[in-house]
Amino acid sequence: MENRLRNIKKVMDRTAFSELNFSEEHRKNILEKINRQDESEETILLAVMQLLAQDRTGFELTKLLRGRGIQKFEENEGFLYTLLHRLEQTGYLQSSWSLETEAKYYQLTDKGRKALRKAEKKQSKKQFVLKELLEW
């Protein structure tokens, strides 16, 4: 797959991007925008809940969030586990230990799935607010 992506990049460099020239300032602005992605608590919470539609470990969850461009956990993994613990206490997810892998797995409960559907529906209407999930 990696070779296919490299080939696509080469072709695009020769065709679509051949006439594009970026100044150093443009490159800097683009990198800043990429690094300033919306990592609000609501965005992170939605991503976590979407990923927990299936059983996941905290480690798997961190990798998948990183794949979505969410880097808040890079230097503070405790934030993720605090969030998972809070969601578990409020009944939105449940956890279980696997004796085979010796890992803790998290998954949404029915209450969590219902809240996720509601949040996704609100998000599609640009009224997305998940603060109620974080209230104790």
pLDDT value at residue 136: 42
pLDDT at 26 over 80: no
pLDDT value at residue 91: 94
Bigger pLDDT: 111 vs 39: 111
Confidence grade of residue 39 (pLDDT, cut at 50, 70, 90): low
Report pTM: 0.62
- In angstroms and rounded to an integer, the radius of gyration of the C-alpha atoms of the chain is 19
Confidence grade of residue 94 (pLDDT, cut at 50, 70, 90): very high
What percentage of the chain reaches a pLDDT higher than 70? 76
Which tokens go with 132? 């109620």
pLDDT value at residue 31: 65
Per-residue burial over 8-40, b if 16 or more Cβ lie within 10 Å, else e, is eeeeeeeeeeeeeeeeeeeeeeeeeeeeeeeee
**One-character DSSP codes across 37-83:** ----HHHHHHHHHHHTTS-EEHHHHHHHHHHTT--TTSS-HHHHHHH
Site of tokens 């300033």? 36
Among 79, 24, 11, CA closest to 48: 79
pLDDT at 53 over 50: yes
In CATH, the number for domain 39-134 is 1.10.10.10
